[in-house]
Amino acid sequence: MIILAATPIGNLADASARLRTALAEATVIAAEDTRTTQRLLQALGIDNRPRLIALHDHNEKARSGELVELAREQDLLVLSDAGMPTVSDPGYGLVAAAAAAGVEVTALPGPSAVVTALAVAGLPTDRFTFEGFPPRKPGERRKTFAALQHEQRTMVFFEGPSRLADTLEAMAAAFGEDRPAAVCRELTKLHEEVRRGPLGELAGWAQGGVRGEIVVVVGGAGVRDVAPEDAVAQVLALVADGIRLKDAAGEVASQTGMSSRELYQAALAARKA
């Protein structure tokens, strides 16, 4: 089978007993960076010397078929550099190929930067969405944030330190400077820091430079108090822009908390009238 194993995101003490056993017993490991895996084995005091196969973004598509066939004959341990494989890391293509080929896939749960940041951010955790890394190009980044402007779930992003200030500034422009957020830096490590505040304030703070691995958590948009007739007008405006009536009703419903079905029926009646 294929075994996806979560590795520490910083503190080595977070390595689970199951991970240690899997590393000690593995005969073959597919790793995002084989050098990182070698250092992990050494740091954990594991003297096993399994066969190491590189599996990263640039070769995953080409190697997945070969690795799936290998996993028919023996267990294949899959590691990313930190956290759970497939979550903004290599592994998804391999799992999809294994599922299509009928090869069993399991996981050894463990550290996750997404869930750790969500837990300490102080923002709602009942519903959330993981958005990964925002686009690097300013225009694409603005477009992405504009599409998320009315997202009501808490949003979790990864970002690099050199782009953090620009990203927070773009978020403040799209979501509003007062939107609550948290920047979680170096989670589980010696210099762990969680900076909470409105996006405008955090954007100003980040201008001074921030180091380390970063997760940004942004509060969702509140439900807007809109009169029913105004909501129907919004639906019809979207339809006029070429959006299907059903989709337009769903979008306005997500922004206002109203019933998508009722908005659809009301807009349909308004069009007939």
Give per-residue pLDDT as tens, 246-262: 998 888 887 777 888 98
Q: 128-132 and 193-198: which strand pairing?
A: unpaired
Confidence of residue 156 (pLDDT cuts 50, 70, 90): very high
Give the residue carrying structure tokens 């001074």: 208
**First CA to last CA distance, the chain:** 61
What integer pLDDT is reported at residue 126 of this predicted model?
94
Q: Tell me how far apart the alpha carbons of residues 109 and 173 are, in angstroms, rounded to a whole number.
A: 37
**Structure tokens that stand for 168 in this block:** 């927070």
**pTM for the full model?**
0.82
**Per-residue model confidence as pLDDT tens digits over 199-226:** 999 999 999 999 999 999 999 998 666 7
**Structure tokens that stand for 41 in this block:** 């084995």
The amino acid that residue 234 corresponds to is: Q
What integer pLDDT is reported at residue 143 of this predicted model?
94
